[in-house]
Amino acid sequence: MTRGGLHIEIRGTVQGVGYRPWVWQLAERTGIAGTVRNETGGVVIDAFGPAAALDRFITNIRGGAPPAARVRSVTCTPIPYAEAQAFTISDSALSAERRVSIPADLATCPDCLRELFDPRDRRHRYPFINCTNCGPRYSIVTDAPYDRSQTSMSTFIMCDACRDEYDSPRDRRFHAQPNACPDCGPRLIAMTPQRAEVATDNVIGFAARSIRAGFTVAIKGLGGFHLACDARSSTAVKRLRDRKHREAKPLAIMVRDVAEAETLADLNDEERALLMSIERPIVLAKRRDDAPGDVPLIGLFLPYTPLHHLLLHDFGGPLVMTSGNISEEPMVTTNAGAMDELRDVADVFVMHDRDIVTRVDDSVVRIIADAPVLLRRARGYVPHSIDTPGAFAKPILACGAHLKNTFCIANGSSAFVGPHIGDLESFETLRSYEAAIERMEAFIGVRPEVVAHDLHPDYFSTRYALGRDDVQTIGVQHHHAHVASVMAEHRLDGPVIGIAYDGTGYGTDGTAWGGEILIATYAEFDRFATFRPIALAGGDQAIREPWRVALALLDDTFDGEAPTGDIPLFRDIAPNAIATIRRAIAWQLNAPLARGVGRYFDALGSLILGIPNSRYEGDVAFQWNMAADPNERGRYPFVIHSGVAPWEIDPRPMVRAAVDDLIAWKSPATISARFHNTIAAATVEIARAALAYGDVPVVLSGGCFQNARLAESVIDGLRPFARVFMNREVPPGDGGIALGQAFVANARIGRNVAKKQELIACV
């Protein structure tokens, strides 16, 4: 009988997900001896046995994995046969090369859920039940590799029963790092805002009764605190909004199961699958007509921790479950921070003694063009890497944008996009941003040599990049980064026709871009076309008061003779305010021109819906999108000015026709639908013109393509003529541009190296 050996290396997310016991059980079934161990690069196996058994063993490894594992590669190298009596699981080993193989936080698995509600089980109603298939991971780990000693569970000493489970390869809790039970693990307490502990043997039951009585409860979750109240009580929801200073922005709702979700939203198969996925994101779905609330889209998610399951079970209905913070501040993660910062928001605090090491918000996903699109990439998805066919030339930190910020660290053949940080507009958020970068650098074990940043000189992320010592800095144009992010996800080398639509991004000429059609590679781009600009009277103030943008667009369309008297929007705006804005535009006083498609959404939404002011970023554009009649197929005229680069899409004929419809009492639903159809038609026409330069892919990115109607219309219009791609793994909005920045910077490093080599060859 021929015997041999294999050295097997598995890369990917393979630690903390039960991979080693899965390999051990596989080895036992196939008669293989040897060892399996964690290393900072992944999992390593030395396997010995008969050649036929080794073949079966490696075939099974290549063909399967535990549910939460994400295998990136499996490599095998023959090694000499060595006599071994059994197959063993060794302790983790450190190596010179570090790669993040720490898994994302995992939703409670069915096995743990059965035990949670089984009165005979020793973990009955224990809110920290977990195993190798579920539980906290990224949010509690302090360093790689992922071992208990390097998590916030290190202070909890396992009892004998838990230790037996932890040490047994046959047990599903073998090396489950957060393993614990009521005798040895974390404990819940309930507190009042006055810092008095509530005397109760059933903290979760007390919390459920408090919510039923109309109170707001702050709950320490997996990656931070949540604020919970009764979603069916308009009084409780309004009180929470008032205290949190979140007047109108939609609030996520947690439901017990998919059946309860379907009482609130019309779900398709893809949305049901997302709700039940191990990532458990917030899923945006169409609200049912008979469901409470007035927003057409509703954000729903299912419980993903044992504590959530118990609370929803005891409460018996849907809960508002929103981030535990004051509006625009980071989510609170510490008990002391919650008592300080949320004391005027919450009536009851449910806390525990397991530290949250890394803040992780809930992820948000929407189905667009029949597939998921991440709108906020956080819990469940971070720190999964986005892998590349080739290696990055140097370790790169990409600092991202100003709004919806994320960062990216690229090293080796992997790009690690950090968790959602948010808008970099407060001290606490800036501190959170810097801390998150430091932690990810520590996990990966690299010091970036290149730092990529946006061109906008006043972004905090730009100033942060330029303030780093001993690095090469590379500025990347905002919309080029958007386009490159799609290329990176789909492994497109370029060139591509990149369509990047958003509100505002700093252009290479120092003006505000945002309706850009680029012919791009990673290293460079040509600006093929753009949208006609609109004056923003008052700069950023115009974004908060979109009636100013509407007025500027009307005056541009009607040559200063807009029929404002026939438009309801302007009846409640003081004549002197209108005159002031017109003077600012005419004299070009703090009235920069902006080419963002998002500004057209703001202007038309304000104009037709009669909304003078935006309550939050994207508010008016969202309402304008939601107003559209799904069955309307008509569109308005537009003009494309060609011949001089860049070409210009001129929507003024559309604006004139939309105003005529408004004055003729056409419904906002009809006008909105025709507006969307027109923007999509103009995009398809300009992309087809660009395709004359070559049969290349078309990619869509930018915040406007979070609008499902626009994205799907453009994709459907272009599908007969081109391959069309959009962001899926990172957000189309500014939360995705860090990935693009990293790839652009890498291409420019390579280009500079090539030029240097050419010069040397010439000499």
Taken in order 62, 65, 71, 75, the sign of the CA dihedral is negative
Q: How far apart are the C-alpha atoms of 100 and 72, rounded to whole Å? A: 12
Contact 244, 229 (CB under 8 A): no
CA 260 vs CA 233, 265, 312, 365, 708: distances in Å: 17, 9, 11, 19, 25
Query: At which residue do the structure tokens 């056409």 appear?
Result: 666
Is the per-residue pLDDT at 751 higher than 80?
no
Q: How far apart are the C-alpha atoms of 89 and 126, rounded to whole Å? A: 29
Token pair recorded at residue 240: 């929470």
Q: How sure is the predictor about 13, in pLDDT bands with cuts at 50, 70 and 90? A: confident
Strands 265-266 and 319-323, bridge-based pairing: unpaired
Token pair recorded at residue 510: 């120092």
What pLDDT is recorded for position 286? 95
Is the per-residue pLDDT at 763 higher than 60?
no
Task: Supply the DSSP symbol for 357.
Answer: -
Q: Which helix or strand (DSSP H or E) is residue 415 part of?
A: strand 414-417
CATH for 3-89 is 3.30.70.100
| DSSP helix/strand/coil, 709 | helix
Q: Which residues contact 306 (CB under 8 A, 6 or more apart)?
A: 108, 112, 113, 116, 126, 127, 128, 129, 130
Q: Which residue has the higher pLDDT, 426 or 597?
A: 597
What pLDDT is recorded for position 97? 45
Is the per-residue pLDDT at 291 higher than 80?
yes
Is the per-residue pLDDT at 305 higher than 70?
yes
Which residue blocks in 400-459 are alpha helix, DSSP H? 427-444
Q: How far apart are the C-alpha atoms of 737 and 403, rounded to whole Å? A: 11
Q: Which helix or strand (DSSP H or E) is residue 245 part of?
A: none
b or e along 200-231 (b: 16 or more beta carbons within 10 Å of the residue's beta carbon)?
A: eeebbbbbbebbeeebbbbbbbbbbbbbbbbb
Task: Supply the DSSP symbol for 405.
Answer: B
Q: How sure is the predictor about 644, in pLDDT bands with cuts at 50, 70 and 90? A: confident
**Alpha carbon 566 to chain centroid, angstroms:** 43
Contact 465, 444 (CB under 8 A): no
CB atoms closer than 10 angstroms to residue 328: 15
Contact 68, 80 (CB under 8 A): no
Q: How far apart are the C-alpha atoms of 556 and 551, rounded to whole Å? A: 9
Q: How far apart are the C-alpha atoms of 147 and 435, rounded to whole Å? A: 22
Is the per-residue pLDDT at 381 higher than 90?
yes
Contact 532, 513 (CB under 8 A): no
Taken in order 522, 523, 529, 530, the sign of the CA dihedral is positive
Task: Supply the DSSP symbol for 205.
Answer: H
Contact 547, 569 (CB under 8 A): yes
Edge-to-edge strands, sheet with 70-79: 70-79, 3-13, 42-50, 33-39, 87-89
Is the per-residue pLDDT at 279 higher than 80?
yes
Cis peptide bond upstream of 732, omega within 30: no
Q: What angle do CA 363, 365, 367 make, to 5 degrees?
A: 170
377-528+731-753 folds as Nucleotidyltransferase; domain 5 (3.30.420)
| DSSP helix/strand/coil, 375 | strand
Tally: H helices and E strands in the chain: 22, 31
Contact 302, 382 (CB under 8 A): no
What single letter denotes the amino acid at residue 16?
G
CA 57 vs CA 30, 86, 301: distances in Å: 6, 15, 39
529-698+711-723 folds as Nucleotidyltransferase; domain 5 (3.30.420)
CB atoms closer than 10 angstroms to residue 277: 16
Q: How far apart are the C-alpha atoms of 344 and 347, rounded to whole Å? A: 8
What pLDDT is recorded for position 147? 83
Q: How far apart are the C-alpha atoms of 733 and 729, rounded to whole Å? A: 12
Task: Supply the DSSP symbol for 420.
Answer: P
What pLDDT is recorded for position 92? 63
Question: How much of the chain is helix, strand and coil, in % rounded to 5?
Answer: 35, 20, 40
Query: Which of 459, 378, 474, 464 shows the shortest CA–CA distance to 425?
Result: 459
Q: How far apart are the C-alpha atoms of 701 and 714, rounded to whole Å? A: 12
Mean pLDDT for 598-618 is: 94
Is the per-residue pLDDT at 575 higher than 90?
yes
Is the per-residue pLDDT at 395 higher than 50?
yes
Mean pLDDT of the chain: 92
What pLDDT is recorded for position 96? 42
> Which tens digits make up the pLDDT trace of 190-220?
999 999 999 999 999 999 999 999 999 999 9
SS (H, E, C) 729-751: CCCCCHHHHHHHHHHHHHHHHHH
Which residue blocks in 133-223 are alpha helix, DSSP H? 160-167, 203-212
> Which tens digits make up the pLDDT trace of 489-504?
999 998 999 999 999 9
Is the per-residue pLDDT at 753 higher than 70?
no
- Domain regions of the chain by residue span: 3-89, 188-352, 377-528+731-753, 529-698+711-723
Query: Which of 740, 751, 746 shows the shortest CA–CA distance to 699?
Result: 740
Query: Which of 651, 683, 681 shows the shortest CA–CA distance to 549?
Result: 651
CA 638 vs CA 516, 602, 630, 652, 708: distances in Å: 17, 18, 21, 7, 22
What single letter denotes the amino acid at residue 734?
D
Residue 669 burial (CB < 10 Å; 0-12/13-18/19+)?
middle
CA 330 vs CA 216, 303, 341, 407, 506: distances in Å: 19, 22, 11, 16, 26
Q: How sure is the predictor about 573, in pLDDT bands with cuts at 50, 70 and 90? A: very high
Phi, psi (rounded to 5 degrees) for 590: 50, 45
CA 397 vs CA 471, 600, 754: distances in Å: 10, 33, 22
- Give the global pTM: 0.91
Q: Which helix or strand (DSSP H or E) is residue 70 part of?
A: strand 70-79
Asked if the domains 377-528+731-753 and 529-698+711-723 are classified in one and the same CATH topology, the answer is: yes
Is the per-residue pLDDT at 754 higher than 80?
no
CATH for 188-352 is 3.90.870.40
Strands 253-254 and 385-387, bridge-based pairing: unpaired
Mean pLDDT for 309-335 is: 93
What single letter denotes the amino acid at residue 759?
L
Token pair recorded at residue 428: 């606490």
What pLDDT is recorded for position 455? 97
Q: How sure is the predictor about 564, in pLDDT bands with cuts at 50, 70 and 90? A: confident
Mean pLDDT for 335-357 is: 96
Contact 553, 533 (CB under 8 A): no
What pLDDT is recorded for position 40? 66
| DSSP helix/strand/coil, 173 | coil
Is the per-residue pLDDT at 165 higher than 90?
yes
Mean pLDDT for 723-729 is: 97
Query: At which residue do the structure tokens 């892998």 appear?
Result: 387
Phi, psi (rounded to 5 degrees) for 660: -60, -40
What is the longest distance spanned by two Cα atoms in the chain?
A: 96
Q: Which residue has the higher pLDDT, 415 or 751?
A: 415
> Which tens digits make up the pLDDT trace of 115-142?
999 999 999 999 999 998 899 999 999 8
Contact 227, 233 (CB under 8 A): no
What pLDDT is recorded for position 406? 96
Taken in order 139, 142, 145, 147, the sign of the CA dihedral is negative
Strands 408-411 and 396-398, bridge-based pairing: antiparallel
